[in-house]
Structure 1
């Protein structure tokens, strides 16, 4: 592993200077921060954090949909299905089409049940005792002054037949409604006319005949139809939920894509700002104190980070030799741009480590004689390599 030997100007021993991420601003002050660029970087970084939080929220909502599709990629978003919105619209169109077909099929089956009910009704109305129940009760003609006090909802077989044949939308919608009205005709007659009277006997007889025909020939079909209708309604409900879910997923997918586009734009802005920092800072030379602090920071880097720092130096110095177990770096011989890039690199490393650099023990072959201040604290001429 490449080691480092520092030659830099300095003065008194500053071993007590603590270099920690928590006080990196104090340890490595940026004398010329270019406040506007710094403000822009902080603003863009803050916005990135906000959007990444929104992306995390989208991920959580998507997970709650229980689709079993895990999201990955930038911010946790993986847009594998880009036409979810189109699928949602198609699902809605199909749902409407299916509903129309289902209603038509249901109406057709119900019309057949009503036709069969009409056969039963004809058999009842053709009975010799059906005539008292074919028209509404003539309350005034028969002087039945208390009829409406006893009978709250009058009904007759003629009214039922007319309603079954109605084409103006006032007809029956379900065969059960017809059955209920026929039962009402006979129950009204038996309620108003006491047991033992002719009308009571006639109503009871016709009611028994009707119930026999209804229960044996039609009621099982009605029960089957109702069960089928409930199953269809359940399936419709499930499809509605799926359609809503597709719409939610489409909206979330669009929102996620918008967030990703915003992140891409912000990352680009941040990169531009970062690239502006080095040339802006290179307009000013580092002070002797800043160089001394930079030398201290470099001596605390891990072997891996130290290699990266050496690569930064080599980029601007074609003649710099970065091979061998130990490399001497004359801090004073580096140009301003390289020094500022090194400082920004060191600060980034410190922030990412999130613990005190001074408490870490590094391996590798970093050669230190005494302390850093022992090396950089000795007076020397600019550009001359020295050894302790």
Structure 2
């Protein structure tokens, strides 16, 4: 019989350990999400102020409608961004055709197609004169890049094309063939650039108008997402707290019986508590014993009539209180010691 009880107790302890391990794993995950929410709201004052707006949206009675509205705004923003990206791609395609046909395909484009061979040509002062070398092969590679390092708009390409010719004109004398070729191609390029410039300006203006609303929608979406995360975290933390309480109750129900000496020690410990801590200790009894009056001027407490779970709750509580008071006293002694030293 005793062997069966021991096996049963061992299985219960193993199950408790397993449940506690699961709870600790969940706590780690929750802490990561809590840290993410805290970082988001503490990053700037603007975001902290906006968080109240997001939280109020979540708490409103018509929160589902408002969240649907935000989702719709997100969708509109995505559609606008996709349309803007498509228009910019079309502009870049038109610009590339002009560049290949009238500039890179020109008979004088040869000296500008590859990086300047500084060593081969013995141009020792080239990098002292030219701060940022540029050539059409570098431009083409950047235009073809798929890793996000490429050009974002036509104006960026235009600036590098101008740099190719301006570098050549800056380094070479006005009467030098390379200088003349660069100047001629630059004039030709500017003429072709004027053909596409109205579309570029129109797109710039359009983006300038849409950008504030896009930023607002993105920010609001982030606020809604983090506010929802904060709400979900609160729910999960409450559930975790309930689960911990349930486990605590299981432990208390299966605790051994407290000895007479332990009960006497606990009564003595109760008399050493501060009035505030004593009220908290008596409240534990009152919460578990409806007939006990914790607010009476004179309290009669019979430890033998209390259940084992109440006794162990009291023991755990007083242990926490004494440890907490001990730490506080140590901190005060440390501070006083430092003051004496100074």
TM-score (norm 2): 0.45
Which protein is richer in helix relative to its size? 2
Greater gyration radius: 1
Could you tell me the TM-score, scaled by structure 1's length?
0.41
